[in-house]
């Protein structure tokens, strides 16, 4: 586990609840960033195990994201970060949930050369959860800005419920979806950050990431957290398909541990 906790200010808590995202600087220190980068590079090279590569090189989706899901199941070093109480406790402070469980992690590399943006989307429509309050931490492992794939978020867009998932390769325009007409893309915040800093975003917040126009990968780790007590909706998902959950069951057990 990572040593020490991170105190989140009242202002940051208020900002997250109001706007559906927040930036928290220096979540990891320099040594932790170096350690995590090494583990990420190791796990991204693996081709076997319990984690899943979601697109192969040459694939259209690979140009959006070179992504591996559930790295913690194959690499003890990744588990040190993904299961970390410091990170989960920050999510607990922001949301006010009584308990936080892990849903899954993503190693997210946006590769150089013919890179595509991550199109505007909400995350929750991809998840098999009835409750709509899960969230993600996104930790930058490189300094990020609009030239190498930093994120953008539209404040208050988490208030828009019941939209569909967006195709991340041939995206629909989420702003044109029925129910999204009050959301203005021109109000989006561009979140430039130093390595080791992070954002938290609500599963309904509209977000986007720029293409990577540099010659180095943009490396990030995202961890999806849910409120303890979150229940299964029955929708298909990589992380729950092999489980025996029935609609309405609590999402819990060894693959979804309580972290804070």
Is there a contact between 76 and 192 (Cβ–Cβ < 8 Å)? no
Say how far apart CA 133 and CA 160 lie, in whole Å.
12
Q: Which does 115 bind (CB under 5 to 8 A by kind): ligand SIN, Ni ion, none?
A: none
Of 96, 110, 87, residue with least CA distance to 199: 87
In the complex, least distance from residue 121 CB atom to Ni ion, rounded to whole angstroms = 6
Q: Using CB under 6 A, which of 160, 222, 239, 260 touches ligand SIN?
A: 222
Give me the sheet containing 100-110, strands edge to edge: 21-24, 198-202, 135-140, 218-227, 100-110, 66-69, 52-53
Q: Using CB under 5 A, which of 123, 142, 227, 228 touches Ni ion?
A: 123
209 is an interface residue for ligand SIN by CB under 6 A = yes
Q: Using CB under 6 A, which of 2, 108, 144, 160 touches ligand SIN?
A: 108
Q: Which does 43 bind (CB under 5 to 8 A by kind): ligand SIN, Ni ion, none?
A: none
Say how far apart CA 55 and CA 200 lie, in whole Å.
25
Is there a contact between 144 and 196 (Cβ–Cβ < 8 Å)? no
Is there a contact between 231 and 131 (Cβ–Cβ < 8 Å)? yes
Give the interface segment with Ni ion, choosing from 87-95, 121-129, 151-159, 173-181 (CB under 5 A): 121-129
According to DSSP, the β-strands at 207-209 and 118-121 are antiparallel
199 is an interface residue for ligand SIN by CB under 6 A = no
What is the torsional sign of CA 18, 100, 69, 231? negative
Comparing CB distances to ligand SIN, the nearer of 100 and 150 is 150
118 is an interface residue for ligand SIN by CB under 6 A = yes
Q: Mask 132-171, x = binds ligand SIN (CB under 6 A)?
A: ----x-x----------x----------------------
110 is an interface residue for ligand SIN by CB under 6 A = yes
Which residues between 10 and 49 bind ligand SIN (CB under 6 A)?
none
Q: Mask 62-81, x = binds ligand SIN (CB under 6 A)?
A: ---x----------------
In the complex, least distance from residue 149 CB atom to ligand SIN, rounded to whole angstroms = 6
- Using alpha carbons only, how large is the chain's radius of gyration in Å? 17
Is there a contact between 137 and 222 (Cβ–Cβ < 8 Å)? yes
Say how far apart CA 208 and CA 139 lie, in whole Å.
15
Of 44, 32, 92, 41, residue with least CA distance to 228: 92
DSSP symbol at 258: B
Comparing CB distances to ligand SIN, the nearer of 39 and 120 is 120
Phi, psi for 90 (deg, rounded to 5): -65, -40
Q: Which does 220 bind (CB under 5 to 8 A by kind): Ni ion, ligand SIN, none?
A: ligand SIN
Which residues are near Ni ion by CB under 5 A?
A: 123
Which residues are near ligand SIN by CB under 6 A?
A: 65, 108, 110, 118, 123, 136, 138, 149, 207, 209, 220, 222
């Amino acid at each position: 586990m990572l040593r020490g906790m991170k105190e989140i200010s009242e202002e940051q808590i208020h900002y997250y609840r109001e706007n559906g995202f927040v930036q928290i600087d220096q979540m990891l220190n320099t040594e932790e960033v170096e350690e995590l980068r090494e583990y990420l590079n190791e796990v991204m090279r693996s081709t076997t195990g319990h984690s899943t590569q979601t697109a192969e090189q040459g694939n259209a989706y690979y140009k959006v994201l070179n992504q591996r899901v559930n790295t913690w199941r194959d690499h003890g070093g990744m588990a040190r970060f993904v299961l970390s109480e410091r990170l989960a406790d920050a999510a607990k402070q922001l949301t006010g949930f009584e308990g936080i469980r892990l849903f899954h992690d993503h190693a997210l590399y946006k590769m150089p050369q013919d890179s595509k943006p991550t199109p505007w989307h909400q995350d929750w429509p991809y998840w098999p959860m009835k409750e709509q309050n899960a969230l993600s931490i996104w930790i930058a492992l490189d300094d990020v800005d609009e030239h190498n794939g930093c994120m953008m978020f539209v404040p208050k867009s988490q208030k828009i419920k019941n939209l569909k998932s967006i195709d991340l390769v041939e995206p629909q325009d989420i702003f044109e979806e029925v129910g999204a007409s009050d959301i203005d893309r021109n109000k989006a915040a561009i979140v430039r950050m130093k390595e080791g800093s992070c954002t938290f975003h609500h599963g309904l917040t509209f977000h986007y990431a720029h293409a990577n126009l540099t010659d180095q990968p943009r490396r990030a780790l995202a961890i999806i957290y849910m409120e303890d007590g979150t229940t299964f909706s029955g929708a298909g998902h990589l992380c729950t398909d092999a489980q025996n959950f029935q609609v309405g069951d609590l999402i819990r057990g060894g693959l979804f541990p309580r972290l804070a």
